[in-house]
């Protein structure tokens, strides 16, 4: 295997991983920002107030975007496995 092919495969791996993680990370970051603003305004410093809404948001994203994420990872894996014979 040539180094440029290995770099392309790693680039595809990180790109696919980033695309799959963006919905969960983006929504939990947005929820965390809203909760932090709420805590700053009301001066309520309860740790469970930040944890529970982020957990619920991540669960909702997994339920709604889970099939797309699984399909994307499956397509990447299939593409990777089908390219193995051409590597030799």
Please work out, in degrees rounded to the nearest 5, the angle formed at the alpha carbon of residue 16 by the alpha carbons of 11 and 20: 150
Distance CA 46, CA 39 (A): 8
User: pLDDT at position 22, please?
Assistant: 96
User: pLDDT at position 3, please?
Assistant: 80
CA 18 to chain centroid, in Å, comes to 6
User: pLDDT at position 1, please?
Assistant: 62
Task: Encode pLDDT of 1-57 as tens digits.
Answer: 678 888 888 999 999 999 999 999 999 999 999 999 998 898 888 877 888 999 999
C-beta pairs of 84-87 under 8 Å, 24+ apart in sequence = 87/1, 87/5
- Per the model's pLDDT, the better-predicted residue between 87 and 72 turns out to be 72
- Nearest Cα neighbor of 20 from 81, 60, 76, 59 is 76
């Amino acid at each position: 295997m040539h180094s440029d092919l290995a770099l392309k495969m790693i680039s595809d791996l990180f790109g696919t991983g980033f695309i799959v993680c963006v919905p969960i990370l983006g929504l939990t970051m947005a929820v965390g920002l809203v909760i932090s603003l709420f805590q700053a305004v009301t001066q309520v410093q309860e740790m469970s107030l930040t944890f529970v809404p982020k957990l619920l948001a991540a669960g909702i994203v997994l339920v709604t975007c889970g099939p797309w994420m699984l399909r994307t990872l499956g397509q990447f894996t299939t593409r990777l496995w089908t390219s193995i014979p051409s590597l030799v």
